């Protein structure tokens, strides 16, 4: 294989696009879609089709002219090369409304099982009904270490977000999806942080409408 000889050289934007493509292909498979063209993917991913073709060519996969890609085969290739097929255990920090919504969907995603959830309120822990084991927030580092949890989802109020992140990282977590409105950064640590923000998405929409006259 001549592709990906130097793993670190794959540019982050390509990596993110290919990971998003993997997520999308899973949904297309569920919808019984067998083949998909790069032009159709352009509409689904909001990425130019030539960029999509170039990204995929880095994996050594190619589309047959006019017939597009085989959805299942491309997804399998992506899963193997990007290490996505296996999945990993995740935990949830914060059992408020958003945390409750995520907890409620636990088990829906077989690749990312929810192995634990945490909250700072013992009262809330006692009132929450779920099959997911619940713990007090002070136990985050210990539980993450013992259960070998790879990533944490943060849905706590702003003032508690940094402490949650520090506890996750102290326990050995290597990824964080942060839904709190505080920006979390871990530039000096080997941790991938994804800060998700509704306002940020509304800003992107505003910029597109303004700049491109969409």
User: What residues from 2 to 31 belong to the interface with a second copy (CB under 8 A)?
Assistant: 4, 7-8, 10, 12-13, 15-16, 18-20, 22-24, 26-27
**Residue number, 68 or 175, with CB nearest to a second copy:** 175
Pick between residue 1 and residue 12 the one whose CB is nearest to a second copy: 12
Bridge partners (DSSP) of residue 192 are: 175
- Site for a second copy, residues 136 to 155, rule: CB under 8 A: 150-151, 153
Question: Which residues, 116 to 135, sit near a second copy by CB under 8 A?
Answer: none
Nearer to a second copy, 107 or 138 (CB): 107
CA distance 88 to 110: 9
DSSP E strands: which ranges in 39-149? 69-70, 90-93, 114-119, 134-136
Q: To the nearest whole angstrom, how small is the minimum distance from the Cβ of residue 71 to a second copy?
A: 13
Alpha helices in 83-139 (DSSP H): 97-104, 122-127
Span from 58-66, 122-130, 135-143, 173-181 in contact with a second copy (CB under 8 A): 173-181
In the set 56, 71, 102, 149, which binds a second copy (CB under 8 A)? 102
Q: Which of 1, 65, 127, 214 binds a second copy (CB under 8 A)?
A: 214
Smaller CB distance to a second copy: residue 138 or 185?
Answer: 185
Closest to 68 in 3D by CA, of 59, 56, 76:
56
Could you say which residues in the range 56-85 bind a second copy, by CB under 8 A?
A: 82-84
Q: Does 198 bind a second copy (CB under 8 A)?
A: yes
- What's the rounded Cα separation, in Å, for the pair 103 and 84? 22
- Are the C-beta atoms of 117 and 107 separated by less than 8 Å? no
CA distance 96 to 103: 10
Q: Which is closer to a second copy, CB of 67 or CB of 194?
A: 194
Does 44 bind a second copy (CB under 8 A)? Our answer is yes
**CA quadruple 69, 25, 13, 110: dihedral positive or negative?**
negative
For a second copy, the closer of residues 136 and 208 by Cβ is 208
- 120 burial (CB, 10 Å; 0-12 / 13-18 / 19+) is middle
């Amino acid at each position: 294989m001549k592709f990906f000889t130097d793993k670190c050289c794959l540019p982050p934007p390509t990596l993110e696009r290919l990971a998003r493509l993997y997520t999308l292909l899973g949904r297309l498979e569920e919808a019984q879609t067998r083949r998909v063209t790069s032009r159709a993917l352009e509409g689904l991913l909001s990425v130019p089709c030539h960029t999509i073709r170039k990204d995929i060519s880095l994996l050594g996969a190619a589309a047959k002219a006019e017939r597009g890609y085989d959805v299942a085969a491309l997804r399998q290739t992506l899963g193997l090369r990007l290490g996505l097929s296996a999945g990993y255990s995740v935990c949830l920090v914060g059992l408020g409304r958003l945390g409750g919504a995520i907890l409620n969907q636990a088990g829906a995603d077989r690749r990312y099982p929810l192995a634990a959830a945490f909250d700072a309120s013992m009262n809330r822990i006692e009132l929450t009904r779920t099959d997911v084991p619940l713990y007090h927030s002070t136990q985050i580092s210990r539980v993450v270490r013992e259960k070998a949890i790879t990533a944490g989802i943060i849905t706590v109020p702003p003032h508690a977000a940094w402490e949650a992140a520090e506890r996750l990282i102290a326990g050995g977590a290597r990824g964080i999806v942060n839904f709190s409105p505080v920006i979390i950064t871990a530039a000096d640590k080997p941790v991938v942080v994804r800060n998700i923000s509704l306002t940020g998405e509304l800003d992107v929409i505003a910029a597109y409408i303004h700049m491109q006259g969409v």
